[in-house]
Structure 1
């Protein structure tokens, strides 16, 4: 049930960095990827498919209207730095600047505990809506020089999230991300991630998830499939690569 009549909580953050990147060979097999992004200077146009100048190497699994913008909290970087240091990860240096996870937006002060599916934010002059969390893939293993990175991100539930774009606009570092509507406060990202990766066959939650209108269709389909098959899909190829 939507509860949009409830007061909107004061959720806001300042954008530390707006990041874009082109497609280039990545990893030991040189697969095309846009995961390496750099901070943009000045205002960047936001359209239905995301930031102007940003590219994805695998449009089947990345980008598109439901994954137009990827937001990752820089709040998580210290934890990752400590964990990767313990593992002796070769790519720990990517944490020295925003963009380590291929994100388009970097902030501090907002995490998965503060965000709900369907949240609408004024981002610069654009209007965006939270569409899904991230499902980490094997490219993070190569990015950080640690073969267990994608699995660690999944297990930590520190995945980041995606927005769809409802109104085009512009954004630059220093702009504010401000919540303007929260129709589904009962669906924080932490709950969604718990259903997806921890209590994976919670049938009541999966049924609710399957009917959650702002949630990306691919995630609602996943919930329906678990309900129908009464089993969890194989995640190994996504986490470890082919």
Structure 2
């Protein structure tokens, strides 16, 4: 199967009331160079938590936008690609049929799925919806991230094609294991066995196994302690 992809890049800018972000992206046509750190001209803010070799590209399924528009009708017009700051937008690839470790051929490049995108509070500010990051996590409509196995020239004229699948853990499964289940060492071990899992997710799961507890998600989802209800 071939999956045509729209391509987006963005630059870091300031957001009043939040921290700098490159979530606002624009569509690009023609050939681009893809390196180990992502697409030519694409930027990331706060690089300790965004970007880097395991998070070089962000992919978001375009078909999710119709559901978000129904779920959040007051902001329905905002839910069009690339509103979630994705680099790649396709129809036909979702968290259910894309697997951790999948390698896709894209033009001259090879890219590998490393983890679900971990939603953070910046999407709340971007959309003006205070709990959108939490809703992304709860629904597992998160998209996913890639590392670049082989760089090269890519473009919207060269669709994605699955080249290799080595694990039985979908992106959806990984999100459920990480965020929806109570502590489950067997499931953490299963996810850790998935070839290609990102270093950051590997580190987090190993910390859970050593501590016997699940970390607090509040700072990632809200930018601070969870607001009182």
Quickly name the TM-score band, shorter chain normalised: over 0.9
Match of residue 216, structure 1, among 198, 214, 223:
198
> How far apart are the structure 1 equivalents of 2:105 and 2:182?
33
Q: Is there any run of 5+ residues in structure 2 with no aligned partner, and where?
A: 225-229
Preserved contact between residue 46 and residue 171 of structure 1 (Cα < 8 Å): yes
CA separation of 1:197 and 1:145: change in aligned 2, threshold 3 A: same
**2:182 counterpart of 1:193:** no
**2:40 counterpart of 1:33:** no
Q: Is there any run of 5+ residues in structure 1 with no aligned partner, and where?
A: 1-10
Match of residue 56, structure 2, among 52, 68, 73:
68
The secondary structure found in structure 2 opposite 1:166 is: strand
Preserved contact between residue 123 and residue 132 of structure 2 (Cα < 8 Å): yes
Match of residue 128, structure 1, among 104, 108, 111:
111
**1:100 offset after TM fit, Å?**
0.6
**1:204 offset after TM fit, Å?**
0.5
Match of residue 94, structure 1, among 58, 74, 78:
78
TM-score normalised by structure 1 residue count: 0.89
> How far apart are the structure 2 equivalents of 1:121 and 1:210?
21
The secondary structure found in structure 1 opposite 2:67 is: helix
**2:220 counterpart of 1:238:** yes
In angstroms, what is the RMSD of aligned CA positions?
1.3
TM-score normalised by structure 2 residue count: 0.94
Q: Which residue of 2 aligns with 1:8?
A: none
Match of residue 80, structure 1, among 56, 68, 79:
68
> How far apart are the structure 1 equivalents of 2:10 and 2:188?
35
Write out aligned runs for 1:155-234 (5 A).
Answer: 155-184=138-167, 186-234=168-216
- Structure 1 residue runs of 4+, over 2 Å off? 208-213
> How far apart are the structure 2 equivalents of 1:57 and 1:200?
32
Q: What is the aligned residue count?
A: 224
Match of residue 86, structure 2, among 103, 113, 136:
103
**1:32 offset after TM fit, Å?**
1.6
Preserved contact between residue 29 and residue 155 of structure 2 (Cα < 8 Å): yes
> How far apart are the structure 1 equivalents of 2:182 and 2:52?
26
**1:165 offset after TM fit, Å?**
0.4
**1:57 offset after TM fit, Å?**
1.3
Q: Which residue of 2 aligns with 1:14?
A: 4
